[in-house]
Amino acid sequence: MALTSDLGKQIKLKEVEGTLLQPATVDNWSQIQSFEAKPDDLLICTYPKAASGTTWIQEIVDMIEQNGDVEKCQRAIIQHRHPFIEWARPPQPSGVEKAKAMPSPRILKTHLSTQLLPPSFWENNCKFLYVARNAKDCMVSYYHFQRMNHMLPDPGTWEEYFETFINGKVVWGSWFDHVKGWWEMKDRHQILFLFYEDIKRDPKHEIRKVMQFMGKNVDETVLDKIVQETSFEKMKENPMTNRSTVSKSIMDQSISSFMRKGTVGDWKNHFTVAQNERFDEIYRRKMEGTSINFCMEL
């Protein structure tokens, strides 16, 4: 057991167009790039992990799709419900293979940036649901995720990780490029661009937007139920969403739980004053010219 986790932390990432990715993903790159999207696909896109609310939006989408039927949403663990396009861990079926085997209309998931996304998604005018979270909370969340996930490199100390993150040397690349890329695409494609902080502040309003975007009609009582069932507290206790079924050799939740806090502004418990000032300066430089606005605290 210890061996796996020790080995896991020596993972050597590979690069595609300057973006770091897991080796198995890169080895499977031609299959991923030639993926055939269908016009009725809905692709959930986020910067990596629950850092940006991936699991949260997946559960919201699934609850809408199942018309608020909790039983149906318990049919499988969340990571098996929506094929993860770039996922690969041979000899298990890849995300592409799982998606191919899925009947339409499909709901799929990716962490890829706009530049790395398989082109057929753009060509088929698919619907995209993007969730963005403020960079500071994202960094904190990703740091704790890398501490407990043995499939990702060891993040080192918080000080070391701070440098790694601002330089985009993390799996799936730079937060700045990722968010900017999707933000710039939002008016040219069918993209519903949501903010984690908005879903936190007014879940009902944001869930209704998702519902309308999906072309679904859910009555008010069902909508209220979805709001209730997708609360952080509910999902943290739900074995279908909290990754408690994942082997400890892959995700060690004794180091940090998969669903940690789910709050806005936790970065204040990690960033030093100096780090915060430096980050704000880098943020201004990297995000210059973009109209996107993030909420840093609620």
Angle among Cα 114, 119, 121 to the nearest 5 degrees reads 85
Q: Are 86 and 112 in contact (CB under 8 A)?
A: yes
Closest CA to 111 of 36, 41, 19: 19
- Residues annotated as catalytic are 111
Strand pairing report for 127-132 and 14-16? unpaired
Straight-line distance from the first to the last Cα atom of the chain, in angstroms, rounded to the nearest whole number: 41
Q: Beginning with the edge strand found earlier in the chain, give each strand of the sheet holding 42-46 in spatial order.
A: 107-110, 42-46, 127-132, 190-195
Which residues are within 8 A (CB) of 216 and not within 5 positions of it... i.e. 6 or more apart? Answer: 64, 65, 67
Residue listed under structure tokens 């269908």: 38
Tokens of 50: 């629950």
